[in-house]
Amino acid sequence: MNNTSLQIKCSIPATLTTNSNLIFDNIRYSHGNITYSNITGEITFNETGNYLINWWVATQLALNSNSVTFALSSSQGDIVKGCSPIKTGEVFGTAIINIITPNTTLSLKNINPGSITLSRSTPIQASLVAVQYDTNTSEGLSNTSLCFSYLQLAHIIKQLIEKYPNYTMSIFTTSLASSPLTGKPYQLYSSNPNSDVGIFIINNNGGLISIPINHIIAIYVGDGSVYDTSITYLIPDIPIPKGCDTDMITSIKNYLSVGYHISFSLGVNTSGEGDVYKNEYAMLVLADSGGNTPLFIPPLEIVALSIDSTSTPALGSNLSISSRLP
């Protein structure tokens, strides 16, 4: 499997004029035949192949428009848009780009008719991940740890629907919303009969809310809930696929231990603290020593964490989590 991958982020609340590139000022990870210039805002793909691109931008203001639109734009003519009807919030997009010739460049552009100002209320204004995969092999994208983390989350959601059907859950997402989405678990929808990865649907007083699971950063089961010890977890294939996603997942798993009391930040504006109750591959569960009010966290969604130096395996402190604008 090809491990060419790039992760970049922006932590500058800049104002982008029409057709200008968003400049990501920090390269968090880069491996393989791919480079990035924080002067031009261009990614250069030095070899042909298929690349999966995921990105999001937190915005504060857009002039001369009732919406916000960015686009992935390549030197070979690709234009893939991502839009939001909300000018203060998050806009995101996903694309598969087939790089036909080496040294093709790609950037994320403001294609609104007016300027866009990035959020001044968040520590990170934008993020982009590019991963190469080979559709001609049996491995492909499905054999990455990132994909496994989605499978693990879907596996957990199916069990939560079965075991906690009457609990009002709180679903924390990558959105800039000041509160989580709430409702009783209703359905996990997938268009692929061979995979559970798809959309988590909750029932909020008769209204259905559909949440793509790649934007879920935590699930709070609900007040009065207790961890069900019959919950199972997927086990990754051995050997575990190599790559930056694997390194991040295994680093967090090895860094934490059951019983540690941690403070954490997730996504753009969610933070909390609690005890590590379960530490599985691609899934953390926080709860007190009795398993009360469990919180499920996909570790790749952790932005920052700190460990209480007095943590012991029997600490059993209360859990707290909130989603708020700074």
Pairing label, strands 42-45, 104-110: antiparallel
Domains with residue ranges and CATH for the chain:
5-133 (2.60.120.40), 145-163+218-323 (2.30.30.100)
d(CA 281, CA 300): 11
Vertex 309, ends 303 and 312: CA angle to 5°?
105
Residue in 249, 270, 295, 305 with CA at minimum distance from that of residue 90:
270
* pLDDT, tens digit (0-9, with 9 covering 90-100), for 140-186: 444 567 788 889 999 999 999 999 999 999 999 987 666 899 999 99
**pLDDT recorded at residue 314:** 40
d(CA 156, CA 283): 9
**pLDDT recorded at residue 236:** 77
**pLDDT recorded at residue 192:** 79
Query: pLDDT means per 10 residues in the chain (326 residues)?
Result: 81 94 93 94 93 91 90 94 87 89 95 93 91 57 71 95 96 82 95 84 94 93 96 78 71 89 86 92 93 94 84 49 51
**pLDDT recorded at residue 308:** 84
Annotate 175-221 with DSSP letters as a single string. S--SS-EEEEEEEEE-S-TT---SEEEEEETTEEEEEEGGGEEEEE-
CA 144 from centre of chain? 15
Residue with the two structure tokens 């200008």: 20
